[in-house]
Copies of this chain bind each other. A is one copy, B any other.
């Protein structure tokens, strides 16, 4: 998806291209020579867990800190599913396409359904489940066990709280679990169009993760399981997936800073401002925007001739061919995108 990167270009290809927020980096430096017990059993990690529990309004939640998004998805989906179960996802979902079969590697089928602008609609899932369980041959088929959605989606779109409520009802009705991939959650939380809070996620999901890697951490994702009795051996599952960081405090430090005084809630704001400014400029210049993403990903159509020149100045992502003469491209802003670089970009459009 990434075109070749040269540092003299404006970097809008993705949101994992820089290091970390200064608060996080400073804490890593100042704590460097402290000795702590490993595997996330240290006091710093425990403090991070407690702050996340508080921010989510679920004091008893299990909180586990993992190293990356594909890893978090693989661990959590495997943890929830029985061996005969599969996971429902949009055909465009990260687990469907871009995780090299990590879910299947743990023995589970991804049950892929159609999407709309990257969203898996509750109606689509409801119809699928009705059909599945009314098919007399369904015991010969993979049993759906979990619904996977991402918020924001791969296309930068958002679910509403009402849609999450619908999913909760669907899950309760059919005995499924609901899991939300929050790789870019900070950008949802910073977006005015979003009405889903951390507390809503904790109330409505069986598990979700709070993304760090794309949101200002060096790396790391915080998995939240509101009812820890659901997954009594989650620690062992993490270890089994090779997902247990020896110096667990490195993750603890990052999330302790994120949730010390609301840093995580502020982290996405510069990205949303920049993306809104870019969308505004694109509209003004007559570009056609795609998918209606209100978050830190901007999708629009560019003439191929124009694109060639554009690519000499800007790192962007190819998204898909629109027609023989046009391409859908993606620009991504992040926690570290400055006004200056945003205006430079707009000057080039």
Interface residues of A (CB under 8 A from B): 1-5, 7, 11, 13-14, 16-20, 22, 25, 28-29, 31-39, 41-42, 67-75, 78-79, 82-84, 86, 97-102, 104-110, 112, 136-137, 139-143, 213-214, 218-219, 233, 235-237, 239-247, 250, 315, 318, 336
Asked if B250 contacts A219 (CB within 8 A), the reply is: yes
Q: In the complex, what's the smallest C-beta–C-beta distance from A38 to chain B, in angstroms?
A: 5
Contact A32 B20 (CB under 8 A): yes
Q: Which chain B residue has the least Cβ–Cβ distance from A69?
A: B246
Contact (Cβ within 8 A) B37 A240: no
* Selected A-B contacts with CB under 8 Å, 19 pairs: A2-B37, A11-B35, A19-B247, A25-B29, A25-B32, A28-B28, A68-B242, A68-B244, A68-B245, A70-B239, A73-B242, A84-B101, A84-B237, A84-B240, A101-B240, A104-B109, A109-B110, A219-B247, A241-B241
Nearest B residue (CB) for A26: B29
This chain: copies in complex: 4
Contacts of A5 in B (CB 8 A): 33-37, 42
- Contact at A242–B240, with CB atoms within 8 Å? no
Closest chain B CB from A60 CB (angstroms): 19
Task: Write the nearest CB–CB distance from A10 to chain B, whole angstroms.
Answer: 9
Whole-angstrom distance between the Cβ of A323 and the nearest chain B Cβ? 16
Is the pair A19, B32 in contact by a Cβ cutoff of 8 Å? yes
Q: How far is the CB of A294 from chain B (nearest CB, A)?
A: 23
Verify B241–A105 contact, CB threshold 8 A.
yes
On chain B, the residues within 8 Å of A82 by CB distance are 233
Given A5-B37, A32-B18, A239-B139: A108 touches B100 (CB 8 Å cut-off):
no
- Bound complex: CA of A105 vs CA of B106, how far in Å? 7
B84 near A236 (CB under 8 angstroms)? yes
Given contacts A34-B18, A78-B83, contact A104 B107 (CB under 8 A): yes
- Tell me the bound Cα distance from A83 to B234 in angstroms: 11
